[in-house]
Structure 1
Amino acid sequence: MVWIKLFTSAVIIALVTEFAKKFPLYGGIIAALPLISLLSIFWLTIQGETIKQIQTFTMGVIIGLPATIIMLLVIYVMLKNSFSFLIAFLAGVASWGFLLAIQKLIFVKFNLHL
């Protein structure tokens, strides 16, 4: 089963990146689709995971969205301002981790449970 998941996922990613080479804007829009989330939910279901586990996974995706949006904005702005890809990438990942840490502190401070 792992090989089927790897192959299917790799083919989808390869197709999206090839499409993005020819049509970068539309490739980005397609890449923004919840492909990974939906594939993960599909594979979790096929593997027989419980609805509760899939629900918890889905909430994790929702919680991760703000940090992902900030990461992508940081990368975009830095690339637009002529920073190297590596610096923009590292700053984006750092901002992602920082925002997730801030979210965790907020959840702990306000005793929020998921």
Structure 2
Amino acid sequence: MFLVKLLISNLIIVVCVLIGKRFPSLGGLIATMPLTSLIVLLWLASDNPGDKKMITGYTQGVLWGIGPTVLFFIATFFCLRKGLELPAALAIGGLLWLGGALLHQWMLR
């Protein structure tokens, strides 16, 4: 079952990359769809049938995790528009995401 999960998850990522090469905006839109969250939710539900508390906690974490992710993409986008190289833009976006993620965890306590 682990290999099936691995293959399906990787196939979705590869398809997103292939679409993104041809249609960058569409690839970005598809990548931001809740595909990853949905896949994880389905795998968690299949591995833990009837554990609604865990599933609810997971979905709450995903919901609150949108904020740090938005910070990451806003920062990365504007850094790239200002002419920063990709590694620097990703580092700045990553630091903002990390700050948002730490705040996320603190708020959920």
Is the TM value for this pair above 0.5? yes
Match of 2:48 in 1: 48
Flag as ranges the 4+ runs of structure 1 deviating above 4 A. none
After superposition, residues 83-98 of structure 1 pair within 5 angstroms as 83-98=84-99
Task: Give yes or no for contact 2:65–2:104 (8 Å, CA) kept in 1.
Answer: no
Shift of 1:48: 2.4
Identity of aligned residues (%): 29
Match of 1:65 in 2: 66
Deviations 1:20-62 (A, max 9, x none): 0000011111111001100001111111241110110000111
Match of 1:33 in 2: 33
TM-score normalised by length of structure 2? 0.92
Secondary structure at the counterpart of residue 80 of structure 2 = helix
Match of 1:82 in 2: 83
The residue type paired with residue 18 of structure 2 is E
The residue type paired with residue 71 of structure 1 is F
Match of 2:7 in 1: 7
Paired with 2:9 and 2:104, the residues of 1 have a C-alpha distance of 29
The alignment covers a number of residue pairs equal to: 108
Secondary structure at the counterpart of residue 82 of structure 1 = coil
Paired with 2:38 and 2:60, the residues of 1 have a C-alpha distance of 13
Match of 1:101 in 2: 102
Change (3 A) 1:104 1:11: closer
Shift of 1:104: 4.2
Paired with 1:37 and 1:104, the residues of 2 have a C-alpha distance of 18
